[in-house]
Amino acid sequence: MNPSTTGKIRVGVIFGGRSGEHEVSLISASSIMKALNPDKYDVVPVGITKKGSWLVGVKPDAMLEDKSEKNQTCIPFSGQGKASLNCDPTNKGLILVDKPANQNRVDLDILFPVIHGTYGEDGTLQGLLEQADMPYVGCGVLASAAGMDKTIAKKLFRDAGIAVAPFKEVLRSDWRQNPDSIMNAIEKEFDYPCFIKPVNSGSSVGISKARDRQSLKEAIDLAARFDRKILVESFVNGREIEVSVLGNDQPMASLPGEIVPCNEFYDYSAKYVDDRSELKIPADLSEEVCEEIRNLAIKAYRALDCAGMARVDFFLERGTNRVIINEINTIPGFTKISMYPKLWEATGISYSELCDRLIDLAIERYRDKQESLAAVI
C-alpha cells in the first residue's frame, strides 16, 4: 500500500449501481463508511447511479434522498464529481471527467465494493478492478460470477458433495415461445408449491412461491422481468440458517443464525420493509448440527474459490435435520442490523474490526496475485 499524505490508507467505498438492490447498497455503504476508523483510513465515497455514472464524493444518504443524477450533492473532498476508473495499471485511480488534466486524479489505495446484485456482485466490477490492478475487498471474478448465478453455484455445490434441492433452469426466450410446454414440464418434475427465482438476482428480488398453474405462470413472468434465466426449485420445509464466512485461503465460519420470516418466506419486504422478521443469533442448534453447518459453509466457500467474505444460506429440513444449501452471497447485506456482521459480532468480531479484517484480507490477496504476476512480466 501507498498511504496518502496523511499517512492513512485511502479507501474508495463503491456503492449504488445498476441493480434492483441499489437502495440496499446505499444503506450498507453508509454503515461501512461510519465504521471505518478515521485514524487509519481516508474514506473516499464513490457512488454509481442507476444509469451507471460514477460520482466521487457523493453521500450514500444523498443518493437515497435524491435519485435524480443531476442533483446529487457531494461531500467536501479534494476532487469530486463525475469520474471513471483508469484501467491503466501504471496510472491507478479514478479520473474526474470534468476536471483539467492537472486536477483530475483521485488516488486510491484500495476499493471496498458494496454493490449488491448485478453489475457489482456478479464479477463484472471485479473484472474491471482486476484490469486496473487495484486491490479490492471481497471475492474475485470467478467466485462473484459463479455465486451470482444460482444454477452454476448449485452445480458446483453438488459436485463438492453438498446437498442441494432439486432444481431446473428455464430460459426466458423458451418461456416466451412455449409457456404451456414449459409449465407442463415443470408440473411433471416438481410438486406444488415450488419456488421461482431469477437466476441472477439477490435480496429476494423477483422471487415467488407458486402453488398452482396460474401462480406458476405469474411467478415465471415476474422472474423473467429480472433475468434471461429462471430457476425452478423444489420447496424445502426447513428452517432458514445462515453462516458468515471470512478469510482467503484459510476461511473461518461464524456461529450460525436463524431467520424466522414474518412473511411466508424471507422475501424483499421481510428483509427490508417489515421489521417483524426474527433473527435468532446464535441459532438454537445442537453442537453437532452447528459444527456440520459451519463446516459445510467453509466447504461451499472453497468450492467457489471465494475470498474476503460471503454469507452462506442453508435449509435445515424439518423432520430429518438434513442440511441443504440454498445459496451464497459474495457481497452480503452490510448494515449494522444485517445478518453478516451480526453473526460475526456474536462470534466475537465487532463491526469496525470486521471492516479492518476485510481490508487486510484484500491487501493479502492482492500481494499474492502480484507474486504470480511477477512470474510472467
Provide the pLDDT for residue 275.
56
Residues 63-88, mean pLDDT to the nearest whole number: 62
Provide the pLDDT for residue 5.
61
Tell me the pairing of strands 229-234 and 167-171.
antiparallel
Query: Which of 178-187, 220-229, 275-284 bottoms out in mean pLDDT, i.e. has the lowest?
Result: 275-284
The C-alpha cell that represents 154 in the structure block: 448449485
CATH 3.40.640.10 fits 167-234, yes or no: no
Query: Which of 195-204, 305-314, 326-335 bottoms out in mean pLDDT, i.e. has the lowest?
Result: 195-204
**What is the enclosing helix (H) or strand (E) of 358?**
helix 351-374
CATH of domain 9-136: 3.40.50.20
Label residues 257-293 b or e (16+ Cβ within 10 Å = b).
bbbebebeebbbebbbeeeebeeebebebeeebbebb
For the chain, the straight-line distance linking the first and the last C-alpha, in angstroms and rounded, comes to 20
Please tell me whether the overall predicted TM-score, pTM, comes out greater than 0.85 for this model.
Answer: yes
pLDDT-based confidence at 74, cuts 50/70/90?
very low
Provide the pLDDT for residue 273.
47
**Can you tell me the distance from the alpha carbon of 53 to that of 56, in angstroms, rounded to the nearest whole number?**
10
Taking residue 90's Cβ as centre, other Cβ atoms within 10 Å add up to 6
Phi, then psi, of 376 in degrees rounded to 5: -115, -5
> Taking all residues of the chain, what is their mean pLDDT, rounded to a whole number?
90
Q: Is the pLDDT higher at 263 or at 93?
A: 93
**Can you tell me the distance from the alpha carbon of 240 to that of 233, in angstroms, rounded to the nearest whole number?**
16
Provide the pLDDT for residue 264.
60
Domain ranges of the chain: 9-136, 147-163+237-365, 167-234
Using only C-alpha atoms, what is the Rg of the chain? 21
pLDDT-based confidence at 189, cuts 50/70/90?
very high
Q: Is the pLDDT higher at 202 or at 335?
A: 335
Provide the pLDDT for residue 292.
98
CATH 3.65.10.10 fits 147-163+237-365, yes or no: no
Q: Which residues pair with 232 in a beta bridge?
A: 168, 196
